[in-house]
Amino acid sequence: MNRIKSAFISLYSMGAIMACLHSAVELFVTGFSNAWLGAFIATLPAAVFFSRVLLIKDLARTSNNLPLFFILGFLGFALTLILPSQGIMPVVYATLIGAVGTLLYVFWYSRIDRSGAKIKVGQTLPDFTLYSSDNGAAVSSSTLRQQPALLLFFRGNWCPLCMAQIKEIAASYQELNKRGVKVFLVSPQSEKQSQKLAQKFDAPMEFMVDKKLQAAQQLGLVHENGTPMGMMGYKSDTVMPTAILTDEKGQVIFADLTDNYRVRPEPQTFIDMLDKHLTGA
């Protein structure tokens, strides 16, 4: 099933952008009083969303169900049936992108099965080994248990929402550092890819490589075939986006096991949880 999802997201995102551009061109040529208007409205939300995600890379999270996608998607679909016909293509775009595509993306592709998660609040961080992207040195989780730590498992440099989330954490690093927190950013991608990412940030965060997804397997965070089809240089298996916050004894005080890859905690959530833990509230 995940292989199908991997193909779907690549086809849906590129298809939405291309269908919206095609509809806009046809509107310019034929006028705004025909079925192409419906196709344009139906495909516009997904096209704008994926263009922003892929090009600007400033979006770390969205709402859970993306209501604007549905409102415009089904409005556009209805207009393609009501307005004067321009052949079958406007209806195809509105149906596959605006109606069916939106339903599949929001309620099927975006959802993550977390039934295999093995990390819980209150337990001590289990034993596993990560590798520094800087020098390849092995880092045992026993080292992570020596101070408060934030472990962010991210899918890879290819994931724009992950990149935006890391950027947010880097901007909030001083607040986390004041509370003694060390930040570990963990991905199964290569050391070279993580080194390239690390160079973009001034904050002294630790970029770690989870070789062969050993840590992710230990924690139940493996996302088989979670990498979109066509991402050259990345393996098909990756991790589920996950944030784990531990105290000075390595005990988990917060774990975000989101079941929707688009819904993620803000950095302030980590700070608030730390303050709550420190004050015993």
Give pLDDT tens digits along the chain (281 positions).
Answer: 899 999 999 999 999 999 999 999 999 999 989 999 999 999 999 999 999 999 988 999 999 999 999 999 999 999 999 999 999 999 999 999 999 999 999 999 999 999 999 999 999 999 999 999 988 999 999 988 889 999 999 999 999 999 999 999 999 999 999 999 999 999 999 999 999 999 988 888 999 999 999 999 999 999 999 999 999 999 999 999 999 999 989 999 999 999 999 999 999 999 999 999 877 75
> What superfamily would CATH give domain 129-279?
Glutaredoxin (3.40.30.10)
CA nearest 165: which of 185, 181, 148?
Answer: 185
CA angle, 7 as apex, 6 and 11 as ends, to 5°?
125
- At CB < 8 A and 24+ separation, what contacts does 8-14 make? 8/104, 8/105, 8/109, 9/105, 9/109, 9/228, 9/229, 10/228, 10/229, 10/230, 11/229, 12/46, 12/97, 12/101, 12/104, 12/105, 12/109, 13/46, 13/50, 13/54, 14/50
Q: What is the pTM of this model?
A: 0.93
At 281 the pLDDT is: 58
At 209 the pLDDT is: 96
CA atoms within 13 A on the CB side of 135: 3
For the chain, domain boundaries: 2-109, 129-279
Q: Quick one: how far is CA 200 from the chain centroid?
A: 19
Backbone torsions φ then ψ of 37, nearest 5 degrees: -65, -40
